[in-house]
C-alpha cells in the first residue's frame, strides 16, 4: 500500500518545483523586460520589470523594410519566411529519407549494414562548421549560394543521419509481433508498415521532425557563411546584426528574440500530444 506524502514533504516538493521553474524562467523574463523597456541600456536589478514600457523596439524589428530595386520589401517578413521554409523543408527531407532507411536498419539484415551505421555515426562526430568551406565551394559550383535550396541541402546532410538514428531505435522498440499479426490477417509487409508501424512510431517521428526543425531554424554559422543578401537572411543571422563590434542594440535584439521564438513555441503546442504519447500507443489501440 502506497504511503501518502506528509504535508511537509508535499510542501518541499512543490517548493523545489517552483524554484526550478523560476530558475528556468528568470532569463526569459529578462529578455521580455529588455524588449519592452524604453531605456537603451540594461540596468542591473533583481526583478526584471520593464522600465518605461514601450512597443517601439518590437515594431522597429517587425516593421523593418528595405528597398530592393524599385520595390520596398518587408525585410522581417522575408527573413521569417526564409527561416520557416528552410526549417520545414529540412525536417520534411530528413524524416522522409530517414523513415524507410531506419526501418530497413531495424528490421532487415544485409551486407554492409553495420559498416554503414558506423560510418553514419562517424559523420556525427564532426561539427557542421568543419564542413563550411567544402559546402561553400559545392554550392558555389551548383549556383545555390544565397538560396533557400542551398541551405536545405546543407542542413539535410546533418539531419538525415540524426533522424535515422532516432527512428531506428523507435522501430526496434515496436514489437515485430504486431507486423506479423497484420500479415497473418492478409496484409503485405508494406501495408503492415503503413497501417501498424507508422502509427506506432508517430510520437518518435514527431519528436525527430521537431528536433530537425529546431536545429535548422536556430542554425547560424552556415547561414551567415552561405548568405550575403539581407533579404535572404534567416532570423538568427538577422538577430546577430543587432550586436555590432562597437555597440549592441540589446533592446531590439531582445524584441527580435521574442518574435523568433514564436514559431517554435507554436510547433511545440501543436505536437505536444505526440510528444507525450507512448511509442507503441498506435499499435495497442483497438
Q: What pLDDT is stored for residue 119 in this prediction?
A: 84
239 closest CA partner among 228, 229, 251: 251
84 closest CA partner among 211, 234, 239, 221: 234
- The domain spans of the chain are 7-54, 72-284
Model confidence at 280, in pLDDT bands (50, 70, 90)? very low
Query: What is the C-alpha to C-alpha distance for residues 135 and 98, in angstroms, rounded to an integer?
Result: 22
Query: What is the C-alpha to C-alpha distance for residues 141 and 129, in angstroms, rounded to an integer?
Result: 19
Phi, psi values for residue 66, rounded to 5°:
-155, 145
Percent of the chain with pLDDT over 70: 93
156 closest CA partner among 105, 107, 213, 100: 213
pLDDT exceeds 70 at position 158: yes
| Range 72-284 classified under CATH 1.10.3720.10 | yes
175 backbone φψ class: left, alpha, beta (φ>0; ψ -120 to 50): beta
- Confidence (pTM): 0.84
Take residue 217 and report the three cell numbers written for it: 531554424
pLDDT digits (tens, 9 = 90+) for 258-271: 998 888 888 888 87
Spatial contact of 226 and 216, defined as CB atoms under 8 Å apart: no
Query: What is the C-alpha to C-alpha distance for residues 140 and 47, in angstroms, rounded to an integer?
Result: 50
Amino acid at each position: 500500500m502506497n504511503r501518502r506524502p506528509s504535508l511537509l514533504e508535499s510542501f518541499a516538493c512543490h517548493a523545489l518545483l517552483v524554484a526550478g521553474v523560476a530558475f528556468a524562467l528568470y532569463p526569459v523574463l529578462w529578455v521580455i523586460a529588455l524588449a519592452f523597456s524604453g531605456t537603451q541600456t540594461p540596468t542591473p536589478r533583481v526583478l526584471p520589470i520593464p522600465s518605461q514600457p514601450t512597443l517601439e523596439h518590437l515594431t522597429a524589428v517587425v516593421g523593418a523594410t528595405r528597398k530592393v530595386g524599385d520595390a520596398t520589401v518587408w525585410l522581417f517578413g522575408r527573413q521569417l519566411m526564409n527561416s520557416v521554409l528552410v526549417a520545414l523543408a529540412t525536417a520534411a527531407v530528413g524524416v522522409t529519407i530517414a523513415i524507410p532507411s531506419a526501418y530497413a536498419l531495424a528490421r532487415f539484415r544485409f551486407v554492409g549494414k553495420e559498416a554503414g551505421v558506423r560510418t553514419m555515426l562517424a559523420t556525427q562526430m564532426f561539427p557542421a562548421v568543419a564542413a563550411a568551406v567544402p559546402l561553400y565551394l559545392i554550392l558555389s559550383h551548383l549556383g545555390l549560394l544565397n538560396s533557400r535550396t542551398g541551405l536545405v541541402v546543407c542542413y539535410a546532410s546533418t539531419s538525415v543521419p540524426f533522424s535515422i538514428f532516432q527512428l531506428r531505435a523507435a522501430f526496434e522498440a515496436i514489437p515485430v509481433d504486431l507486423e506479423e499479426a497484420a500479415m497473418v490477417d492478409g496484409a503485405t509487409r508494406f501495408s503492415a508498415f503503413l497501417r501498424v508501424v507508422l502509427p506506432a512510431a508517430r510520437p518518435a517521428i514527431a519528436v525527430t521532425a521537431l528536433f530537425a526543425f529546431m536545429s535548422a531554424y536556430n542554425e547560424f554559422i552556415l547561414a551567415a557563411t552561405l548568405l550575403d543578401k539581407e533579404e535572404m537572411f534567416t532570423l538568427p543571422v538577422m538577430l546577430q546584426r543587432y550586436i555590432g563590434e562597437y555597440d549592441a542594440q540589446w533592446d531590439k535584439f531582445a524584441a527580435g528574440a521574442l518574435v523568433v521564438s514564436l514559431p517554435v513555441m507554436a510547433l511545440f503546442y501543436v505536437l505536444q500530444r505526440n510528444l507525450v504519447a507512448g511509442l507503441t500507443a498506435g499499435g495497442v489501440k483497438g
